[in-house]
Amino acid sequence: MKSFNQITEAIQQLKSNLHQNDFLLTWEKTEDELKQTLLVAEALKFLRDHNISTKVFDSGLAISNFRDNSTRTRFSFASACNLLGLEVQDLDEGKSQIAHGETVRETANMISFLTDIIGIRDDMFLGEGHTYMKEVGDALDDGFKHGVLPQRPGIVNLQCDIDHPTQAMADLMHLADYYGGLENLKGKKIAMTWAYSPSYGKPLSVPQGIIGLMTRFGMEVDLAYPEGYNLISDVVDLAGKNAAASGGKFRVVNSMDEAFRDADIVYPKSWAPFSVMQRRTPLLHNNDTAGLKALEQECLANNARFKDWECTEEKMKLTKEGKALYMHCLPADISGVSCKEGEVAESVFERYRIETYKEAGFKPYIIAAMIFNNKFKDAAGVLNKLNERGLKRILG
């Protein structure tokens, strides 16, 4: 385990441009910027573990805008903001003037007068979530430029239609912790595979986030899915380029067994086909209940053709020495527990349950690091001040 000084010294060696820049897609960030995010998260965790307060704000607001349901990411965002001293206010669009036609430009400015950070989750509509976040950013730029806002709040992508950077970065932090350092991930094989689910419409952003990030660090990434369950082609192409640049490997296969073979890590996770998400978006916009029901039945029937795409004990035996690390963003569809048949066998999930909880536990620190880097240019210097101040979080 690195000492606190080793962490901050490592941060000082990096070149990054995270200050006052939104965190929307991991592949928009340099390797140094990704490393700094991990290191700041590690430093914040170190301080909290040693009962040292990490509150860097005396006051301030963080806005959470969840346009889809969430448990882990919603509470991780709230925890991250509280860790730094910010108060969280949810933007409930149903209770706002958005329902009466208020524009994105107007809403973005009205919620931002004393706001430091805005977290947005918008993964429902393919082709729109990332675009919406950019639109909010443009509106904030305009408000700050014209003196409406005293400062320009940063934006953190809490999941969009393209990427889930807080999840992927938490997963990367988990792997670095599990294997004893980021440098030890080079050459490790991770199988990012589709898995059967008795539901449909799950976003593409988790598998895309994984292949887009893990290929940056020299890992051997297998993306596996049944025929027709394609991801966004641009992201798949990007993963191949990332692997070539980092000295890793990337390939697409149509066999879960093949992807699992000799894998160090497996990540079986259901998602909807790209073509289905394309068809679903206009139906959602039009509130076409009958159309959505028909699409759901069609997709569930198609999913049922691939019930053998389940993370079973037999498939785990195909992995390296039969001991691959199982990962999942949660909640997993556990066969015989949360559903009759699902993504993972009960015995497999139970064996790795605590590890998946630990995986999820890194997300608040990752989000806090994204906020921290956005607000402070000299991240290492501010972290050192917190450590030197030594203010106890809990008196005693």
Is the domain of 252 the same as that of 384? Answer: no
As given in the structure block, the two tokens for residue 96 are 């706002």
Residue 326's domain is classified under what CATH number?
A: 3.40.50.1370
Q: Which of 9-18, 232-241, 279-288, 302-311 has the lowest mean pLDDT?
A: 279-288
Please determine, for residue 2, whether its predicted confidence score (pLDDT) is greater than 90.
Answer: no
The 10s digit of each residue's pLDDT in 215-243 is: 999 999 999 999 999 999 999 999 999 99
Summarize pLDDT for 146-191 with one digit per residue, the tens: 999 999 999 999 999 999 999 999 999 999 999 999 999 999 999 9
pLDDT of amino acid 81: 98
How many residues in the chain?
396
Which element (helix H / strand E) includes 298?
A: helix 289-303
Owning domain of residue 155: 4-163+363-389
Do 337 and 225 share a structural domain?
yes
Same domain, 144 and 118: yes
pLDDT at 7: 98
| Cβ neighbour number for residue 121 with a 10 Å cutoff | 25
Residues 373 and 266 in one domain: no
Report the half-sphere exposure of 194 (CA within 13 A, side-chain side).
28
Report yes or no: 202 and 303 within 8 Å, Cβ to Cβ.
Answer: no
Tell me the pairing of strands 220-224 and 249-253: parallel
Evaluate whether residue 30 is within a structural domain: yes
Residues 344 and 208 placed together within one structural domain of the fold? yes
Q: Which two tokens stand for residue 204?
A: 């593409």
Residues 125 and 202 occupy one common structural domain: no
- pLDDT digits over 62-112, tens only? 999 998 888 999 999 999 999 999 999 999 877 777 766 789 999 999 999
Buried b (16+ CB within 10 A) or exposed e, 269-297: bbbbbbebbebbbebeeeeeeeebeebbe
The number of domains in the chain is 2
Question: Burial letters for 202-228: b for 16+ Cβ neighbours within 10 Å, e otherwise?
Answer: bbbbbbbbbbbbbbbbbbbbbbbbbee
Q: Is 187 left (phi over 0), alpha (psi -120 to 50) or beta?
A: left
Task: Please name the residues in contact with 321: beta carbons below 8 A apart, sequence gap of 6 or more.
Answer: none
pLDDT of residue 99: 62
